[in-house]
Amino acid sequence: MTKNQEDYIKLIHELYLKHGKVTNKMISEHFNIKASSVSEMLRKLKKEGFIDVVDNEIFLTQEGLVLSKDLISKHRLWEFFLVKHLGFSWQEVHEQAELLEHATTPLLKERLNEFLSHPKTCPHGAIIYENANEITYVALSSKSIKEKLTIVAVSDEEEILDFMDQQDLHLQDTLEIIDINRNEDIYIIVTKGKEIQVPTSIARLIYVES
């Protein structure tokens, strides 16, 4: 299996979790390549038994899902290692982990996991599949005024992580939504005695306990 094929399988998994469906167009937009190039790769992955295509929507087979979870777990283990042991910030680790995941053998993954004492989540709060059961959480943007909430995960997109750092927000912080300004698309929260305005675009990618 090539690095490119692994990237496709992992992306299909991530797009499905985020949007509930995956299409050729979504993949081509993410990779910024022609739809015809995506179609060619999808034909290969379907032939090898990693995906199915039903009514123009793309689904991982059981074999594809096992592979995608393995790749994602490798990625998140490396992120954990880089932050905990090499002093990387959570903004810096994604690209490094992308490189390392493809070079990680099953034995290296096992030893890395043991060395790290089987962490349940990566630095962004996403689960490491073989170490934890699925965690149910929802976007901050799905919650209502006066709810008291705990941040359990965030997207690893740079814009989100920069916002978290600028506002001194961290995983496991508790907060309360005190207002939602629909006209300006802003959630107003209070945490640690401080009022923060959170744009809806960011509130969609900050996750709290359901």
Q: Residue 185 sits in a domain of what CATH number?
A: 2.30.30.90
pLDDT at residue number 133: 87
pLDDT at residue number 139: 94
What residues make up the domain containing 86?
65-131
Cα distance between residue 125 and residue 114, in whole Å: 19
pLDDT at residue number 136: 83
What are φ and ψ of residue 126, in 5° steps? Answer: -80, 145
pLDDT at residue number 138: 93
Domain boundary among 131, 147, 173: 131
Domain count, the chain: 3
Cβ neighbors of 6 (< 8 A, separation 6 or more) are 67, 71, 101, 102
Q: Are 34 and 69 within one domain?
A: no
Q: What is the DSSP letter of 133?
A: P
Domain boundary among 76, 102, 131: 131
Q: Are 143 and 198 within one domain?
A: yes
What are the pLDDT tens digits along the chain (210 aa)?
899 999 999 999 999 988 899 999 999 999 999 999 999 999 999 999 999 999 999 999 999 999 999 999 999 999 999 999 999 999 999 999 999 999 999 999 999 999 999 999 999 999 999 999 888 889 999 999 998 999 999 999 999 999 999 999 999 999 999 999 988 899 999 999 999 999 999 999 999 987
